[in-house]
Structure formats: C-alpha cells, structure tokens
Structure 1
Amino acid sequence: MDKKIVAGSYGYLKALFWAVLLAFLVKASLAEAYRVPSSSMEDTLLIGDFVLSNKLLFGGRIPFVGWRLPEIRQPRQGDIITFKWPGDHKTDYVKRCVAVAGQVVEIRDKVLYVDGKVFPEPEHGKYVEKDQPLDKSDRRDYFGPYTVPAGTVFAMGDNRDNSYDSRYWGPVPLELIEGKVMAIQWSIAPDDKAPQIDPARFATIPTTVWHSVTHFLGRIRWNRTARGVS
C-alpha cells in the first residue's frame, strides 16, 4: 500500500479521534443539548425544543471520574435549569428555579410567593388554567409555607397547572443540577399524524420513513431557531 495513503489515513483517523474526544469533553463538562419532552415549561419552552445548557456555570463534571469543576456561581431565582430528577438520579428534567436555600415558598390561590413576595411571573409562562376550580387539598393551588433546605433549590414549571415539580417530589439537590438553559438551538413540532411502524407489517416501514422525510422541514419552527430564553 502506498505510504502516502497510509499516512493520510492515519492523519484522518487521528484528527477524527481528537474531534470526537473534544466533542465528548464539551458535552460532559461545558455544554449539552437537551430535547424538551413535555409541556411543563410552556410557553417558555415547547415540546420539541432543543435547548443548549451551560454546564460550566455550575461546575461541569469531568468524564470518567465524576469530579466537578469549580462553579462560577450557584443557581439563582429565575434560572431555567437542567437537572437529574431526584427520584432516580437519571431522568433529565428542565424547570425554573423559583427559590434557593433558606427562602420560604408558598402558593395561595395559585399565586406563588417567595419570602412573602409574589414571584415575578415568567413572560411566556402558561401558569393558570382559569376553568379549573381551586382545590385546597391540591398542591397545585395551595402549598407551604415551605423553607428550602440547605444545598437545594425549589424548581417549578412555567406551566404550573401541568407541571410535576418540587411541589410533589421535593427540592433539587445542587449536586444533581447540570446547567443553565441559555438558548433554544432549534425546534421541531410534534407530528401527531405520523404513521406508526407495525413490526408485523414490513410495508409500514417505508411508509413511515417517507412521511418523516417529506414532512420534516414543515415541522421545523424556524421562528424559534437560535433564540435566547429567560
């Protein structure tokens, strides 16, 4: 085999290796993309949004050893954060930090209070469904007062009537917080009319693939591409 070809192949593989390694390190320690799977953050974040989370801000983890880099700062009120669900330490969640350690959270008549003051409502939050009656036995409408423990934050969805959050499963430990959502990279709308693959019918495979390909561009929410969030 020609030595030039061998040398060229080696150089290509070497460059590919370093590129993959760099991408892995960035994903693990600096920034990562997440797909929003639920409506709990509507209308700030929609189902199908792909958001970019800054992991360096709160101290990204070093791959393989799990050590955390020094944090630039801790989560603050109003930050949209990504974290591992305290229930299993595996599932990725996206919520808004509404209170930090030492603050008192209370919900009365669906109004959120932190330290006795009304929490500023998110600009695009869809947090009240007016046709739902108030229920004093439901943590959706009435909660607390509750003091956030040290080393944790209280997280809630902007779509408060449709959010499974700290009201139900408790505060989020700081060590489970991955990063702060900085922007929406791109967004694709769900396709409720997409045909489903039937394992027992091979013909459904090309039909489903063709539908996905021909409808893909039409599902992209171009107005949400490269868009900041707050």
Structure 2
Amino acid sequence: MEESSNGRPDAANWRKEAVDWAKALVVAGVLVVVIRMFLFSPYIVDGPSMQPSFHTAERIIVNKIMYDIRQPERGEVVVFHSGFGADYIKRVIALPGETVEVRGDTVLINGEQLSEPYIQEPVDTAAASGGTYNNKDYPPQTVPEGHVFVMGDNRPNSHDSRDIGFIPYEQIVGRADVVIWPLGSIRIIGHD
C-alpha cells in the first residue's frame, strides 16, 4: 500500500483494497451457497439407527448431485426426507422391480440371500447367544419403479422401509460419501 507524503497509507489505495476484499468475500459467499445447495451438504447423524457403521453426532458430507447422474445402487448409504420432520440416513437394500423379504437376520432379494458384511459382527454376536439381530420381519414385496427399499444397519433399532415403506427417488437428498467429524473417525464411506 502506498503512503502519502505524511507517512500514512493513501486513502484511495485503502478504499481500493477494501473494495477488493469485499468482492472476494461476496464471491466466496456465493460459492459456498451454490456448493451447499447443489453439490455437497453437511449432515449430522442423529440417533443409533445406523450403528455400528455410523454413530450419533458424526458429521458427514452428502453428495447431492450423484443421483442427478445415475440412480441409487444397492449398499449405498443415502440421506432422504422422511416426512417425519427430519432427514434419515439409511442403506439402500432393494431396487425398483426387485422383491425384498426379511426373515430374521436373512434379507432376500428376488429369493436370494443378500450378503451384508457391514452388520456381520452384530449378527454373529446375536446368533452366538441364541437370538437374532433383527427384530422386524418383512413379508415379500416388490419395490415400485422410482423407489428404493432402505434399512438401518442397527436392525433392532431402526425406523426404515419396514415401517415407512418404499422411498421415492425425489425424497433422496444424496449419497453419504465422507465422515468429517470427529477427527478420529474421518473416512471415506464404503458402499458395499
């Protein structure tokens, strides 16, 4: 910054620098709004329904454009508008046109058992004590076009498609891609 003859910063240069800073802040603000509205958004996990995969108060980044490019796939963790005044986080289990059934700890898709490595440990623990991890069966139903069937990983404590029905694509906010908080839990989210 140039100084005037009396050793103080020139007022015109000070104003120019202030205007440049203001422009930069406005551009940064617009970028933040655009990114949050259309591309990515932070969410906080609230409740135990996705344990052991996710825990209450974990912060995740949701990719909001993924499903503008393609449809959800089995195993992906999605955030959706539940219609109960909150957004839910659940795992996609069955896709349009598939018949889904839940019998104890067995999930059947078109009559074939679904492999679910993300809940294998609690399922094995429940089996070792003579019980089942899941406490809600679900009779065979075919997923309608434009919908998915979702379940929480914490099967005994999840309000999911077994209770609320199939989730329309238009209610899906996006795919959970990254856990960003707490620091010890930072990770890319696997979608097996």
TM-score for both structures, normalised by structure 2: 0.83
The percent of aligned pairs where both chains have the same amino acid is 32
What amino acid maps onto 2:88 in structure 1?
Y
Instruction: Kindly indicate whether residue 34 of structure 2 is the aligned counterpart of residue 74 of structure 1.
Output: no
2:143 aligns to what? 148
2:181 aligns to what? 186
The answer to whether the Cα contact below 8 Å between 1:41 and 1:125 also exists between their aligned partners in 2 is: no
The answer to whether the Cα contact below 8 Å between 1:127 and 1:161 also exists between their aligned partners in 2 is: no
Cα distance, 1:110 vs. partner?
3.1
TM-score for both structures, normalised by structure 1: 0.70
The higher radius of gyration belongs to 2
The answer to whether the Cα contact below 8 Å between 1:110 and 1:141 also exists between their aligned partners in 2 is: no
Cα distance, 1:140 vs. partner?
3.8
Equivalent-residue separation in structure 2 for 1:122 and 1:84 (angstroms): 26
1:120 aligns to what? 115
Structure 1 segments (4+ residues) deviating >6 Å: 131-134
The answer to whether the Cα contact below 8 Å between 2:62 and 2:178 also exists between their aligned partners in 1 is: yes
Task: Could you tell me which runs of 5 or more consecutive residues in structure 2 were left unpaired when the two chains were aligned.
Answer: 1-9
2:171 aligns to what? 176
The answer to whether the Cα contact below 8 Å between 2:136 and 2:162 also exists between their aligned partners in 1 is: no
Which one has the bigger helix percentage? 2
2:39 to 7, 24, 30: 30
Instruction: Kindly indicate whether residue 17 of structure 2 is the aligned counterpart of residue 8 of structure 1.
Output: yes
2:95 aligns to what? 100
Equivalent-residue separation in structure 1 for 2:48 and 2:155 (angstroms): 10
What amino acid maps onto 1:37 in structure 2?
D
> What is the total number of aligned residue pairs between the two structures?
177
Secondary structure of the residue that 2:88 maps to in structure 1? strand
Cα distance, 1:141 vs. partner?
2.9
What amino acid maps onto 2:59 in structure 1?
F
Secondary structure of the residue that 2:170 maps to in structure 1? helix
What amino acid maps onto 2:188 in structure 1?
G
Cα distance, 1:158 vs. partner?
0.7
Equivalent-residue separation in structure 2 for 1:32 and 1:182 (angstroms): 10
Secondary structure of the residue that 1:123 maps to in structure 2? helix
Equivalent-residue separation in structure 1 for 2:117 and 2:170 (angstroms): 25
